[in-house]
Structure 1
Amino acid sequence: MRRSIVRGLAAGAAGTTALHAVTYLDMVLRGRPASRTPEQSVTRLADLAGVKIPARGRDNRVSGAGALLGIVSGLVVGAGYGAIRAAGWRPSVTTAGAVATVGAIAVSAAPMAAIGVSDPRDWSFSDWVADVVPHLAYGWVTTATYAAMLDRGEPGQRSVHPNEMRDALSGRDS
């Protein structure tokens, strides 16, 4: 179980990198600003917890904490994916990628909705695209990375052929 969770953490880190790359590419291509919801979440959570954020460097602290929240979310979803794989779940590449995508969206959007920072029911189509596309990159890269790390000798698991890795990254079932 521990190895599978560690593998999931590493896969989640790769997925988080992909999510950030796709997000920043979207910002470059469309000229859109960065989302303020991570910073708003940090501020709201600090208020709810009664934690005072120091005035000196406040904006930088809040920005850094917001980015860290996103990284932690990606690692948590990756670890969770590793745990359910260790428990015996062996989905197709397509199913695994979709589940990791939905898990990442839920772990990021649900807490923001719960604390009143954002309500996905009010998002425009463009808002949904800006959120879903990077999370799709997260889901596919996380599951493909996990698959690439499987050990040949581990019970119930096998090595991944390079064609399966290619198919995983392209979204095709192997």
Structure 2
Amino acid sequence: MIQSIVRGGAAGAAGTTVLNAVTYADMAWRGRGGSDVPAQVVDRLTDHAGHPVPGAGDTRDNRLTGLGALSGIAVGCGVGAAVSLLRRAGVRMPVWLGGAVTGVLAMAATDLPIARLEVSDPAEWSGADWASDAVPHLAYGLITYALVAAADPRG
């Protein structure tokens, strides 16, 4: 079981790298800025937990930015590990379907807290906003699931 978790975490890390590359390519292509949503989510979560991020001004903002990025990596690795455990339990899909499902799981793991913490309301997002979220997550899912499937010793 530990090997499945490690394989899935590594696959999720690779998928996260692809997600970031697709996101940064979109930013470069359209000339759009980066999102501060991950930092806002961390800010709200730590406040709700009673342990707000320390510091003031730029120091605090930089900590939140770093923690937001790290939380994305953690989600990516965690979803990869979960998908690998599901595969170990017998849930096997073709790569195209498993990739789409994995992408949707990762997207839900990020978008549900955004909505629940009222950082943003996905119901108000434009088509371009949804595409900016869905396309990188689909790329993440395809790479992550393909690597999980390829690394499965049982085929």
Tell me the TM-score normalised to structure 1 length: 0.84
Quote the offset at 1:42 in angstroms: 1.3
Deviation digits for residues 46-76 of structure 1 (CA, Å, limit 9, x no counterpart) = 2212223222511111110000110111011
Match of 2:45 in 1: 45
| Structure with greater helix percent | 2
Structure 1 unaligned residues grouped into runs of 5+: 152-156, 159-174
Aligned equivalents of 1:48 and 1:58: distance in 2? 17
Pick which of 71-80 and 140-149 moved more.
Answer: 140-149
Match of 2:23 in 1: 23
Aligned equivalents of 2:74 and 2:121: distance in 1? 21
Match of 2:80 in 1: 78
Mapping for residues 1-174 of structure 1, pairs under 5 Å: 1-56=1-56, 57-151=59-153, 157-158=154-155
Quote the offset at 1:131 in angstroms: 0.3
Contact 2:43/2:52 (8 A) holds in 1: no
Aligned equivalents of 1:55 and 1:97: distance in 2? 40
Matching residue's letter, 1:42: V
Match of 1:169 in 2: none
Structure showing greater relative contact order (alpha-carbon pairs closer than 8 Å, 6 or more residues apart): 2
The structure with more radius of gyration: 1
Quote the offset at 1:150 in angstroms: 2.8
Q: SS at 1:35's partner residue?
A: coil
Structure 2 unaligned residues grouped into runs of 5+: none
Q: CA RMSD in A?
A: 1.2
Quote the offset at 1:120 in angstroms: 1.3
Moved over 4 A (4+): none
Contact 2:7/2:148 (8 A) holds in 1: yes
Tell me the TM-score normalised to structure 2 length: 0.94
